[in-house]
A and B are shown apart, each in its own frame.
Chain A
Amino acid sequence: MRIYAVFVYLFLYAPIGIIVLFSFNAGRHASELRGLSVQWYGKALSNPFVGDAFVTSLEVALIVAILSSLLGTAAALALQRLKGSVRIFFDGLIYVSVMIPGIVIGIATLVALVTVFDFLNPWLASVWPEGVKPPQLHLGYTSVIAAHTLFTMSLVIIMVRARIAGMDRTLIEASMDLYATPWRTFYQVTLAQIYPAILAGFLLSFTFSFDDFIISFFVAGSNTTLPVYIFSSIRRGITPEVNAIGTMVLVGSLTLLMTAQYLMRDRGKH
């Protein structure tokens, strides 16, 4: 079993190895290795657009992950109390929002938001007090976050609900019986039982949002996320600069991960 796991990780990291290798390519072509150099790292680091796009992506992904895990968990808890047609209705919406292709939701959201904004902006301008600059609704940060969250929130709901469904109801009664108030019971028992699902949901949401290109491409407006920036730079011809960016993200996150693991090494030992 362990050998199998090692193979799956090898499968997952095989292309990553190639990415890292080519980031040191001296040549300017992505598919031909011509000596080693770190020049592309310098290029990537000195490129202000890369930094901006990275920060935007990070912010968007973090907000998406936080929003999805909070709202998704809340919804999962509420749905578990519901029965009948309301429940079926929500189940339907959840599965639709998971199954719907990114390209469809990207275009649909773009079209819908632009239509709504075209209608709302003149109206806002007309009702706004004289002399004050009326707000201008436009695509950007918020629309990317909202569009990503639709998908990731549903993922969280599905995972948390699987967890709740498998939970032993008598644990809650046992907690109440031992003098824990409903609120304390919630965070000492219910939350303690479902937190792996919330954590997994958070990580998956972050990953989806950080890596998403299609939806962001349509609804990001002028705010460029990293995948969108990379796509546009590829159009001008792909260079190992992109690999260098990927490698830096990778090294950064692995470093963070190891640090976290090191700091938490004493917890959960028993």
Chain B
Amino acid sequence: MREQSNSNRWLTVVLLAPTTLWFLFMLIMPLIVILIFSFGERAAVGGYGGGFTFAQYANLPARLKAFQNTMTYAPVGTLLSLLVAYPLAYYLALKVDRRYKLILLVLVIVPFWTSLLIRTYAWIYILGGRGIPAMLEWLGFEAVRLINTPGAVLVGIVYGYLPLMVFPIYVSLEKLDKSLLEASNDLGGNPYRTFFASHLASLNARCGHGLYAGFYPVDGRVSDPGFSGWGESILHR
């Protein structure tokens, strides 16, 4: 027994080693370097000039607006992505014939094999003057301004993070195959209660992962030049 647990320990170390190296050199080291640089002074020629100063931090209040945007868009965007992604993931995981599962799943990510930039242009076109607003006008409705509104930013977020939401949820739901529901039926459970119990449990336990995966990038990336608004600023440059 002892020997076995020893070899088990070695296996764990070997399996974990590459990931550890990655975290060490590609995550921890760069973050430490950035942290050191953040206290540095700007050299006359630009770049890092050594020294120790809080000058860079003193600039932060000027970026307050960006922080605020991030803090409001991120949770709302995450929740929206979840609301849009969950039913789709559920449908793909449990309702679709096995033969078509993979292809339908891949179809979710194929749009992202084009370029982010041209997708952004396409969205600007759709939401901009000649897109939906023009269509509404043509149909006799009042034209609305869509581009550069919070709604447009949210559409961008939901669109961009849909695969990142759908995939983890799909993976965890697909596991929950019909046999589990079936088995609890035999125990005399009410089918609806069974459905919701296992459903909510899986949502709780596993969607957490989907939520994490979806939430954080949104958190970080909205403060990158905002999705639709950003595109337009390039267009009009």
Contact = CB atoms under 8 A, between A and B. Distances in A.
- Do A and B contact each other directly (Cβ–Cβ < 8 Å)? yes
B30 A105 contact: yes
Interface stretch (B18-26, B51-59, B136-144, B184-192): B18-26
Given A163-B171, A257-B110, A157 B19 contact: yes
Interface residues of B, number: 85
Contacts, number: 262
A149 B34 contact: no
A155 B213 contact: yes
Interface size class of A (residues with CB under 8 A): 35 or more
Interface in A70-88: 71-72, 74-75, 77-79, 81-82
A203 B23 contact: no
Interface in B26-79: 26-34, 37, 48
Contacts of B159: 11-12, 15
B196 interface: no
A101 B22 contact: no
B117 A231 contact: yes
B148 interface: no
B150 interface: no
A49 interface: no
B205 interface: yes
B114 A12 contact: no
Contacts of A30: 121
Contact of A166 (B18, B128, B206, B235): B206
A203 B163 CA distance: 10
A188 interface: no
A66 interface: no
Given A74-B16, A210-B113, 8 more contacts: A5-B92, A93-B23, A146-B26, A155-B168, A165-B206, A193-B175, A203-B106, A250-B114
